[in-house]
């Protein structure tokens, strides 16, 4: 545990609490809450004796049935083609449990840089070794660079698309090449798709598990947290090869026993509402995104790679200050919180992750004003 970085979100949250009134452009949450139907669905929960008993380890059968239909309809992933499905307490848990199931201590895991910090932390906790592979222009991954980083100890290649923290969306052909590389080399491909509905412009999300021949080595992770404003409810799920089922049952039964019954019932209502619930809320996020692009692009010394996914920008600043020092000053002196790039493995230069989807649209303007004022002040020092 001594090799695992301290979780950055609680650290930034503590700094923000010390400065009341701070507006957050830090944590990766959407500004809306769950559908009214989800709250209605749990209104009578607890009235039956079975509501208080352990449920199925893999998750409620009714919820899994609805997820299976969603996967076939939206992702082109059919469970009958060699996959199994497990509901977890969020996609982070799904990722950690998969790493525990498929790696031994000392195994190497290819993690494109910038990485999602909780995944790097999970790999280290499992005793495996994260191997960073820097991304190229626009934070796009390069299959050739990944192939060059493989060693006899490599066990896993991770992709996150749409990406946290950069917002990059990887094209179908890139993901297909990485998936094929994993098949050829006998590796696992872990595909994090928590931001599947959050794409902008011409970008489109693609699920590698839908590829022919992918079912033997592809594990996919999904979440209700972003799409349905469901972050605190902790419902995610993973799709994995049939051969991993026994190992993942061991991990789930030890780590969680079963997903919470009350939140699974609400999750059923979310899926009944469908992706339209999310898509109806993307237009105001898109407008905020354009406002951020215009304002940040006008700041001299601020590099803004404009990406087309999730609700993040990963900025580069022309300053000798570290990302953490800039983050501290933005909170203490300007009342706005962001996440420093060091948490995502960006140790060269100053980088900041800005989340433009976490504030209500009517509050985003004030946060943007504080951010731009604070960045200019930091760049002037």
Per residue in 205-240, pLDDT (tens digit) is 999 999 999 999 999 999 999 999 999 999 999 999
Considering the domain architecture, whether residues 204 and 353 belong to the same structural domain is answered as no
Considering the domain architecture, whether residues 131 and 261 belong to the same structural domain is answered as yes
Sort 95 into a burial class: Cβ within 10 Å, 0-12 / 13-18 / 19+: buried
Considering the domain architecture, whether residues 73 and 23 belong to the same structural domain is answered as no
CA distance 228 to 224: 6
CA distance 184 to 174: 15
pLDDT of residue 30: 94
Classify residue 1: in a domain, yes or no. no
CA distance 276 to 292: 25
pLDDT of residue 27: 87
Considering the domain architecture, whether residues 167 and 299 belong to the same structural domain is answered as no
Residue 317 binned pLDDT confidence (cut-offs 50, 70, 90): very high
Classify residue 320: in a domain, yes or no. yes
The dihedral region occupied by 68, where left means phi > 0, alpha psi between -120 and 50, and beta the remainder, is alpha
Residue 359 binned pLDDT confidence (cut-offs 50, 70, 90): confident
Residue 353 neighbours by CB under 8 Å, 6+ apart? 26, 165, 312, 313, 314, 315, 338, 339, 340, 341, 343, 344
Classify residue 333: in a domain, yes or no. yes
pLDDT digits (tens, 9 = 90+) for 262-312: 999 999 999 999 999 999 999 999 999 999 999 999 999 999 999 999 999
Q: CB of 92 within 8 A of CB of 123?
A: no
Single residue among 214, 247, 274 that ends a domain in this structure: 274
pLDDT at position 242 over 90: yes
Considering the domain architecture, whether residues 203 and 229 belong to the same structural domain is answered as yes
pLDDT at position 381 over 90: no
CA distance 296 to 264: 40
CATH number, domain of 307, equals 3.90.1150.10
- In whole numbers, what is the pLDDT of the chain averaged over residues? 96
Single residue among 274, 300, 320 that ends a domain in this structure: 274
Nearest residue to 242 (alpha-carbon basis) of 222, 214, 221: 214
If you count them, how many residues does the chain have?
A: 381
Considering the domain architecture, whether residues 171 and 59 belong to the same structural domain is answered as yes
Nearest residue to 121 (alpha-carbon basis) of 340, 313, 344: 344
CA distance 37 to 34: 8
Single residue among 274, 298, 315 that ends a domain in this structure: 274
Residue 314 phi, psi (nearest 5) = -110, 100
Considering the domain architecture, whether residues 15 and 65 belong to the same structural domain is answered as no
CA distance 357 to 27: 9
What percent of the chain shows pLDDT beyond 70? 100
Considering the domain architecture, whether residues 96 and 236 belong to the same structural domain is answered as yes
- What average pLDDT score do residues 344-372 get? 94
Quote the number of domains for the chain: 2
CA distance 106 to 310: 32
Considering the domain architecture, whether residues 52 and 121 belong to the same structural domain is answered as yes
pLDDT of residue 348: 87
pLDDT at position 139 over 80: yes
pLDDT of residue 344: 97
Residue 62 phi, psi (nearest 5) = -65, -40
pLDDT at position 140 over 80: yes
Classify residue 372: in a domain, yes or no. yes
Q: CB of 96 within 8 A of CB of 121?
A: no
CA distance 129 to 120: 9
CA distance 360 to 70: 28
Classify residue 235: in a domain, yes or no. yes
- What average pLDDT score do residues 176-205 get? 97
Considering the domain architecture, whether residues 26 and 53 belong to the same structural domain is answered as no
Which two tokens mark 25? Answer: 């452009």
pTM of the shown model: 0.96
- What average pLDDT score do residues 87-107 get? 98
By three-state DSSP, how is residue 38 classified?
helix
**Range of the structural domain that residue 326 is part of:** 8-32+281-379
Contacts 24+ apart (CB under 8 A), 119-122: 119/95, 119/158, 119/160, 119/192, 120/5, 120/345, 121/4, 121/5, 121/7, 122/92, 122/95, 122/96
Q: CB of 152 within 8 A of CB of 129?
A: no
pLDDT of residue 380: 86
CATH number, domain of 93, equals 3.40.640.10
Considering the domain architecture, whether residues 40 and 24 belong to the same structural domain is answered as no
Cis peptide before 252 (omega within 30 of 0): no
Considering the domain architecture, whether residues 100 and 139 belong to the same structural domain is answered as yes
Residue 19 binned pLDDT confidence (cut-offs 50, 70, 90): very high
Classify residue 2: in a domain, yes or no. no
Nearest residue to 173 (alpha-carbon basis) of 219, 218, 211: 211
CA distance 120 to 192: 13
Q: Name beta bridge partners: 81.
A: none
Residue 248 binned pLDDT confidence (cut-offs 50, 70, 90): very high
Query: With the C-alpha atoms ordered 50, 53, 56, 58, is the resulting torsion angle positive or negative?
Result: positive
Classify residue 196: in a domain, yes or no. yes
Which two tokens mark 38? Answer: 């989800």
């Amino acid at each position: 545990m001594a090799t695992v970085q301290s979780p950055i979100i609680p650290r930034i949250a503590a700094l923000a609490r010390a400065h009341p009134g701070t507006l957050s452009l830090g944590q990766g949450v959407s500004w809306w809450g769950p559908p009214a139907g989800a709250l209605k669905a749990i209104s009578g929960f607890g009235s039956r004796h079975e509501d208080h008993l352990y449920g199925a380890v893999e998750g409620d059968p009714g919820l899994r049935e609805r997820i299976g239909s969603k996967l076939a309809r939206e992702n082109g992933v059919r469970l009958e083609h060699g996959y199994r499905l497990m509901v977890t307490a969020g996609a982070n848990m799904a990722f950690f449990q998969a790493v525990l199931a498929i790696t031994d201590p000392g195994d190497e895991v290819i993690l494109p840089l910038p990485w999602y910090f909780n995944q790097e932390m999970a790999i280290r906790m499992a005793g495996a070794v994260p191997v960073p592979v820097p991304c190229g222009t626009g934070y796009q991954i390069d299959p050739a660079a990944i192939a060059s980083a493989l060693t006899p100890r490599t066990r896993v290649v991770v992709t996150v698309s749409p990406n946290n923290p950069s917002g990059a969306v990887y094209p179908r052909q890139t993901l297909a090449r990485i998936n094929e590389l994993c098949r050829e080399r006998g590796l696992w491909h872990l595909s994090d798709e928590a931001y599947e509905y959050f794409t902008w412009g011409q970008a489109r999300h693609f699920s590698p598990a839908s590829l022919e021949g992918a079912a033997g080595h592809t594990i996919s992770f999904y979440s209700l947290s972003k799409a349905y404003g469901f972050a605190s409810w902790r419902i995610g799920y993973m799709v994995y090869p049939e051969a991993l089922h026994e190992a993942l049952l061991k991990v789930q039964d030890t780590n969680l026993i079963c997903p919470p019954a009350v939140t699974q019932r609400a999750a059923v209502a979310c899926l009944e509402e469908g992706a339209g619930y999310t898509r109806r809320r993307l237009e105001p996020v898109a407008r905020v995104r354009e406002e951020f692009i215009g304002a940040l692009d006008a700041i001299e010394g601020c590099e803004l790679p404009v990406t087309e996914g999730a609700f993040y920008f990963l900025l580069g600043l022309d300053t000798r200050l570290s990302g953490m020092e800039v983050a501290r000053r933005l909170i203490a002196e300007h009342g706005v919180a962001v996440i420093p790039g060091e948490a995502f493995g960006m140790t060269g230069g100053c980088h900041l992750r800005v989340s433009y989807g976490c504030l209500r649209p009517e509050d985003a303007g004030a946060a943007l004003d504080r951010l731009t004022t604070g960045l200019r002040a930091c760049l002037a020092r």
